[in-house]
Structure formats: structure tokens, C-alpha cells
Chain A
Amino acid sequence: MKLIRATGLFAGLMLLAACVTINIYFPAAQAEEAAEQIVDDILGKQSPAKDKGAATGVIRTHGLAARIVDFLIPAAHAAQPDFNVNTPEIRKLQARMKQRHQSLRAFYESGAIGFGGDAQVKMRDASAVPLRDKNKVKGLVRDENADRNALYKAIAGANGHPEWEPEVRSTFSRVWVERAGRGWWYQDTSGSWKQR
């Protein structure tokens, strides 16, 4: 009888243990950093170089001291980032968006389009688009948003947490606005348009 009770208790503990949920929180800081790098790349901005910069700086100068330091090739740091944004799919989406940005930039600048609150591009002032560009802008915005959605999903997926997509999106939403050029438009939390 005692044995049975003990077994029952043990089973109960097992069950309890099985019920313990391990929460993995969204790594907000790392995600933000990753988003900044991606957005800077797409918008064609120079991202402040990290660890690598110092080393390459030395190598570029040719001289005795440099060569000696040069011997100490920096070993790679933190090879496995905490937040992975480095998959073929993400790189492909990023390259496509970077390419498309060449065409979109003029329309950000004219105020025709802006960054929406949902980390998408939105038409802000259709009248600012000349007739000959109207279809083009519509197509660009449609394609850009499709790629943006795919990007947020891919990033969440690459980190093994598809359910992080909303957090990834809101991180990007913030970063797009932060990195927007002067005079570009964005939607604030209430949905009204503001200018950087």
C-alpha cells in the first residue's frame, strides 16, 4: 500500500515536473541590434563596424608595427550569435529589399509613402506620385510589404520561435522609424503621420 502511495506520489511529481513551462523570453536587445544592421544595410547606411573594424584598420596600414600586430589575427568572436538573422532566406530577402530601396527612396523623400506603424510601407500621399509612377509605386509597395512580412517570419523561424513574429515585427517597426532619413514620414502609435 505504501509502495503504491509512493509510486503515486512519484508519478504526481513527474507530472508536475512535466508541467513546468520553460519560458524563453524574446531577446529584445539582440533582436534590436540585428534589426538595426538589416535596416541600415537595406537603407544603404553605414553600420558602425564592430570588432572587425579595428583589425582591418591595422591591416590597411603597411608598416613594421602594423605587420607585427597583424600577426595576431583576431580570432573570431561570438561565432554563434544569440539572435540568428543569417540564413539564405533572410539574406535573399534583405538583398531584394536593398535593391528595391533604390527605387523606393525617392518616394520616401517626396512623402508619397512612409513607414507604417506595423513595420510596413504605406501610401501616405498618393497625389505626391506623378501619374507615370503610380502603378510602379503601387507595385513596389506591394512587393516590399510581401518581403517585409516574409522577413519577419523568417527571422522568427530562424531562431526556432515562429511565435516571435509579432515581437520581431514591432522591433523592426521601431527601427525602421529610427533609421528613416530626414524628412521621411512615419506613423506614430496612434496611426497619425509624423515627419522625421
Chain B
Amino acid sequence: MIVETDISRPASSLPSGLFSLLLFILLLAPRSGGGVQGVELFLGKLSGAGWKAEDVVLRIDWAGDARAVYSLAASRVEHSLLSGPLLSPRIDCSEGRLTGGELSCSKGEMTVGKGILDKEKFPVAFLWDPGKALMRFDFDQVAIGNGRLALDFQIKGDLWSAAIRGKGVDLRQLQDTLVVMGVSLPDFTLEGRVNLTLNIAGRQRLPTRGDWELRFDRVLFSDSSGELLGEELQGRWQGAFDRSREEAYSGNMSLELDAGAILTPYAFLAPDGEKIAVSTDFGLTAQLDQLRFSRLHYRHGEVLEFTSRGELVLGASPGITGLAVSIQHAGLSDLVENYLKPVFSSPMIEQMRVSGNLSGELLLAPEPQVALNLKDVGVEQSDSDGSGRKVFGFEGLDGVLHWRENGPAAASLISWQSGHLFEGIEIGPSALSLQASGQGMTLSGPTGIPVLDGSLQAERFELEQLDSGLRLAFQGYLTPISMNLVSRALGWPELSGVLSGMVPRVSYEDGALQFDGTMLIRVFDGRILIKALRLEDLLGALPVLQAEIELRELDLETLTKTFSFGKITGRLEGRVGDLRLENWRPVSFDARFNTPGEDRSRHRISQRAVDNISDLGGSGISGAISRSFLKMFKEFGYSRLGISCTLKQGVCEMGGVEPAKQGYYLVKGGGIPRIDIVGFNRRTDWGVLVDKLVDISEGATPVVQ
């Protein structure tokens, strides 16, 4: 017997209508054997609250009593809880019941169209009791994403609930499945397997409560821009939410990361043996336009622990309306090495070592405000050229940093135990009191910073970041520092004397520090004045120093002794104009050194010094005969000596005290025995000249025939 029907009555009344029909068929059926064995009903289009099925066909084979073997198929089923239609679903029930009140199946098999699930067929149990408006599906062993999923789904009236348990579900395939089902997902690449449990209940289309747990292993993810990446992730994510109060969702969740790594534009997160745990509560307004959390807790072993609370506005113009972070502790060494270095590409930061601990409060919104405590912090900056040379460092930094964006902040106080600039310029213990707010920083009062055996006295120091660049104001002076310490620190031959200086003003422009005022070096019984000092890119790849240097009344005897140049007595003055050092090596200058015009001191020059000067000028004294004759004298008299060199493009344009035939006088004789030294080479390779000077100062023995 075939009953064909087209039910097109109002949706809500359908189930009861269908059941009347079924009842009628059941009445027709004989109690035992013979008569009608099966019925095929073409039910056509069926629909109810929130669902719709097309071309529904029910085929029933009686097994006796209310037990039945039947199949139910449709060409298309849509449900408001599904994002897309199910195509050609079909249920074959081998152990079912058809009674006046319910349609159920304890052992059935569901078939769906290809494309959504791995297998087209999977076991199902269900119950449909239209009288109680109850519908329940138990899907067991749904193969999805190469894993297995068990799904219990129940609808009663406008209430529904679902429980999903999945094991070994492949995320990529699950993602594909969800996309096929029409779920819109962020553009993320996902790989790996998860075990998941999800319980969710709701009313109509709104979920009202739920909880979930996701265990993942070897999961990889990346966003489309490649800015957010995760690799080999292993851990657990769980949480719960509730809509108990009508106006909002609230709940909590926690994430534990046991292994793997996540790269964000701001930090690199890798448990590296110590798990990273984040937990938080959350609350979402009913309009879904505001999210808040009050107890976010982040902990990564001894590396970093902080709590946070915040408020975010979602929707069309998202923003952070409140965010506060309270750092319980931050181990700076690990934090810099593991969290921060991977996101910076600066070779300088690469060569920076930081140690110690940090704690404090950061208020980022509404009004940015910072209070950080430093505890035994050390900073060591090495040269980024791979040489490992030290650039600067501080040890035992302690103190508190206060900063506010608007209005005055409390005073910041930083102290340190020791420090150094470059390899050997030692900086002694000191403390700075600073006022920091907005874009600026000001030294609260005069401060002395010990440098070697002297000190840098800072009278005034202000730093401000303006739109036009950094503005710096400094006023201070350098109390005398022993030159023997300075020279030792810089690896020079040991000098006696002192260095001091007045710095009335320092300005900063185009990346360069410009020092007004004069640095004074009292050395060799005279004075060296350094003016117009300008430092550029001081800690960068190519530090540049520019200066004007004046030498006044230097005692040549002390000077030549210091540099093992032989012995010269008398005074020397000079000037190095337009000096430019790059990476601390001269690239250009205009220099001249000579006997001062009014010098009345004794002018003698030793044989060895004669030899060395001859060497530098590229000339000899007048030939081998003179030399063998002159060898009898240990020293000679002179009236004036001098040398000039204009360095440009690696070439030194040389000159002396006055022009000579074919050259220039380096030493103009006077007294007895008298000697003239004439230089011939006007242009000398600077590199060669420096090698010679180094050789001389290192005491290479000259040979005079």
C-alpha cells in the first residue's frame, strides 16, 4: 500500500497531523502476520518552528507490536540551529518504536550527503515526542576530521541542549567541515589534533549556558598575515559561561600551555619547560558591545607573573576603556631573552644582556600611569659587530620609576652600584632623582656621577620627546679625572695630567649630541682644549665624533718620553681643526703642530727623534755621509719644528714649519750642532703613517748609520 500525501498546512500544527496519519496506518496494520507488511509515505514538505524538510518519505516495516523497522528520508533539511541545509539526509532504523505518542529509534543509522563528514553513514538514536515537543538525537561515533565525535542533541519546546565529545579531531579537517557547513571562521590556518568536550544549552537561538574543554597536542596555527603564529602547541583550554542574569553573559576560562611556542608582534611566548597559565573571568553585556574582566592572572614560572583587569568596547568602534596590569614579578633576563628579543631585529638589542627583577603597576587606560620597581637590575650592552666589546653597562640598579601621561608623577629614584662606559671608563655608585611625565624627564636636583677618580656633575638635565624630535638640555661640568686612568681605560700609552671640563649646554639634533663649552685636558705640562664636540650615532654602527682641538704650551720632553719618540725639549702648540672620527678612527682633519712663536725654552732634539721625524716626513737628513758624521752627536739644536697634515680621503697632505727647496722643513736647525730635516712627500698614505706612529710608540728601535 502506498499513501501519498502533500501536507501544506500551517507549520505548527504539522506534527499532530502527521501523527493522526500514522495512527491511522497503525490501525490498518494487522496485529500479527499477513496483511500489510510495509507502508511508504510520501510526506512531501514538512515544517515546524525553526525547521523545514523537503520531499520527506517515511517507509515502515512492521516487526510486531509497536516495534518497527523504518526509514525516514528527505531531500533537504533546514534548521535554524544549523548554519546550512543538510542535503539528502536519511535515517534507517532497525530497532524503532512507533506509538501513538512518539517516534523513536534506539538503533539506527544516519546517512548524509557528502562533503560534511568523513563518512556518510553513522549510528544514531533518536526520540520524537510531538506531544511533549521533545526531540532528541544521540549521534555516536560520528567520524569528523579524522577523529570521532559523539553528539547528544535535545530540543524541548524552545529549549535545547547539546553535548559534544570529540577525540582526535583533526583541526584542519574540522575547519574545512565547518566552512562547508557555512560557519564563518577567521582566516586562520590550523593544524593538529584536539580532544574536546562541549556542553551547551539555550533557548531559541540564544545559548544560555555552556562549558568546554579543549585538549590540544602539536597544534599549529597562523593568521593570514603571518604575524600571529603558533607551533607544536600542547595544552588545555577550558571554560564556562552562563546567562543566568538576563542582561549579560559571564563566566571564566583558563588556558594552559605546556609546550610549543606562540609568536606575536609584541612578544614570543614559549613555555620552555615551565608551563604558561592564563586564567580569567569575563563578562559580556547583553548587547555584546562591552567586555570586561577583573581577575586575569598570567603566570609563567619565575619568568613573569601578572594580574590584570580591563574593559573593552566592542562593536563598530572597538577600543580599550580600561586596562590595568599589576606585575607581581618579572625576571628581566628571561623576559628580555625569550619574550622580547625574538620580536626585535635590532642588532643592538641582540647584544644587550639584562638581569634582575621588575615589579609594579601599569595603568594603560583610561589615564596611562606607571609605577615600576627595579631590583638589582643589571644592563650590559656589547658592540653589535660581533667583537663582544663592551659599550656600556650598569650593575645593581635599584629604584622606582613613576610616570604619568598627564600631570605630575611622584619622583623616580634610580641608584646603581657600578657602571662602565666602553671597556674601562668606570662609573661609580650614584643615585638620580628624576621627574617623569608626559613625553619628558627632568633631573630633580644637581647630581654627581663618579667617573674614574673624578665626577660628572650634572646641574640640569631635561629630556623631552617633541613632534620635531628629541630635545635635550644639559648643564654641568667634569671635575678633574686623572689622565693616567683615562689613558689606561682607553688603552693609550700612560699619560699624566688631568681631564676636566665645563659643559654649559648640550643639545640634540638630527641624532647628534652637540656639546657647547670646552673640555680641558691638563697634560704634558700644557693644555689641550676640546671644543665644538659633536657625537653622532654614539651607540650605533658607526659612531662619529667631531671636534676642534687646540694644544697649548705642551712640554715636548714629557710628550716624547710618553710616546717613546726619542727626546725633544721645547714647547709645542697646535690645532686640529674639523676633526672627524668614524668608529673612533680619524677620517678627516686639518692639523698642524709647531714650536710656539714666543717659545724661549731650550730647543734640543735627540738622534732617535731626528730619525723618527725623518721617517714621518718621508725624507732623510742630507744623505748617508751626513748621517755617518752626525752619528757622533747624541742631540742637536733646533730653532723651530712643526708638521702639518690635512687628512682627506685617506691621504695626508703634509707640510712643515716653512717651505724648503723641493719640500718643507720639519725641523729648522739652530744652535750647534745644527740639523735641518726636510720632508719631500707632500702626499702620504694615512694608514702607513699611522702604522709608523704605532711602531714608534711601541718602541721599534731605529737604526742610524
A binds B: yes
- Interface of A toward B, CB cutoff 8 Å: 51-52, 55-56, 59-60, 62, 64, 67, 70-77, 79-80, 86, 88, 91-92, 95-96, 98-100, 102-103, 131-140, 142-143
Q: How far is the CB of A43 from chain B (nearest CB, A)?
A: 12
Partner of A76, one of B263, B268, B341, B651: B651
A102 & B347 in contact (Cβ 8 Å cutoff): yes
A128 and B614 alpha carbons, distance in the complex (Å): 60
Q: What's the count of A-B pairs with C-beta under 8 Å?
A: 131
Collect the chain B residues with CB atoms within 8 Å of residue A88's CB: 544, 580, 582, 587
B263 & A136 in contact (Cβ 8 Å cutoff): no
B229 & A76 in contact (Cβ 8 Å cutoff): no
A98 & B541 in contact (Cβ 8 Å cutoff): yes
Q: Look across to chain A and name the residue whose beta carbon is closest to the beta carbon of B695.
A: A59
Q: Look across to chain B and name the residue whose beta carbon is closest to the beta carbon of A66.
A: B703
| 3 nearest CB pairs, A to B | A139-B345, A95-B542, A73-B618
Collect the chain B residues with CB atoms within 8 Å of residue A98's CB: 385, 541
Collect the chain B residues with CB atoms within 8 Å of residue A95's CB: 541-542, 582-583
Collect the chain B residues with CB atoms within 8 Å of residue A67's CB: 702-703
Q: Does B649 count as interface, using CB distance less than 8 angstroms?
A: yes
A133 & B347 in contact (Cβ 8 Å cutoff): no
Q: Look across to chain A and name the residue whose beta carbon is closest to the beta carbon of B648.
A: A79
A99 & B384 in contact (Cβ 8 Å cutoff): yes
A40 and B544 alpha carbons, distance in the complex (Å): 23
Collect the chain A residues with CB atoms within 8 Å of residue B319's CB: none
- 8 Å CB interface, B321-348 against A: 338, 341-347
Collect the chain B residues with CB atoms within 8 Å of residue A71's CB: 614-615, 618-620
Q: Look across to chain B and name the residue whose beta carbon is closest to the beta carbon of A86.
A: B649
Q: Does B684 count as interface, using CB distance less than 8 angstroms?
A: yes
B384 & A91 in contact (Cβ 8 Å cutoff): no
In the complex with contacts A59-B692, A131-B263, A140-B345, A79-B649 CB distance below 8 A: yes
A134 and B685 alpha carbons, distance in the complex (Å): 46
Collect the chain A residues with CB atoms within 8 Å of residue B703's CB: 64, 67
Q: How far is the CB of A102 from chain B (nearest CB, A)?
A: 4
B229 & A134 in contact (Cβ 8 Å cutoff): yes
B651 & A79 in contact (Cβ 8 Å cutoff): yes
A75 & B345 in contact (Cβ 8 Å cutoff): no
A76 & B345 in contact (Cβ 8 Å cutoff): no
Known: A52-B685, A55-B688, A75-B684. 16 other contacts (CB 8 A): A56-B691, A62-B701, A71-B618, A72-B618, A75-B682, A76-B650, A79-B683, A86-B650, A95-B582, A99-B541, A100-B541, A131-B229, A134-B342, A135-B263, A135-B268, A139-B345
Q: What is the 8 Å Cβ interface bit string for chain B, positions 153-189, against chain A (1 contact, 0 not)? A: 0000000000000000000000000000000000000
B692 & A80 in contact (Cβ 8 Å cutoff): no
- Interface of B toward A, CB cutoff 8 Å: 226, 229, 231, 261, 263, 265, 268, 270, 338, 341-347, 350, 384-386, 537, 540-542, 544, 580, 582-583, 587, 614-616, 618-620, 649-652, 681-685, 687-689, 691-692, 695, 700-703, 705
A115 and B346 alpha carbons, distance in the complex (Å): 21
Q: Look across to chain A and name the residue whose beta carbon is closest to the beta carbon of B544.
A: A88
Partner of A52, one of B346, B384, B587, B688: B688
Q: Look across to chain B and name the residue whose beta carbon is closest to the beta carbon of A136.
A: B345
A99 & B268 in contact (Cβ 8 Å cutoff): no
Collect the chain A residues with CB atoms within 8 Å of residue B702's CB: 67
A132 & B270 in contact (Cβ 8 Å cutoff): yes
Q: How far is the CB of A75 from chain B (nearest CB, A)?
A: 5
A70 and B692 alpha carbons, distance in the complex (Å): 9
A70 & B384 in contact (Cβ 8 Å cutoff): no
A75 & B386 in contact (Cβ 8 Å cutoff): no
A136 & B541 in contact (Cβ 8 Å cutoff): no
Collect the chain B residues with CB atoms within 8 Å of residue A138's CB: 345
Collect the chain B residues with CB atoms within 8 Å of residue A55's CB: 685, 688
14 contacting pairs across A/B (C-beta < 8 A): A52-B685, A56-B691, A73-B689, A75-B618, A76-B650, A88-B544, A95-B541, A100-B347, A102-B385, A102-B386, A135-B343, A136-B342, A140-B345, A142-B345
A136 and B341 alpha carbons, distance in the complex (Å): 8
B343 & A99 in contact (Cβ 8 Å cutoff): no
A74 & B688 in contact (Cβ 8 Å cutoff): yes
In the complex with contacts A92-B542, A99-B385, A73-B615 CB distance below 8 A: yes
A132 and B701 alpha carbons, distance in the complex (Å): 56
Q: How far is the CB of A46 from chain B (nearest CB, A)?
A: 15
A52 & B687 in contact (Cβ 8 Å cutoff): yes
Collect the chain A residues with CB atoms within 8 Å of residue B338's CB: 132
B683 & A76 in contact (Cβ 8 Å cutoff): yes
Q: Look across to chain A and name the residue whose beta carbon is closest to the beta carbon of B386.
A: A102
Partner of A139, one of B344, B614, B684, B695: B344
Collect the chain A residues with CB atoms within 8 Å of residue B229's CB: 131, 134
Collect the chain A residues with CB atoms within 8 Å of residue B614's CB: 71
In the complex with contacts A76-B685, A140-B345, A103-B542 CB distance below 8 A: no
Q: How far is the CB of A34 from chain B (nearest CB, A)?
A: 13
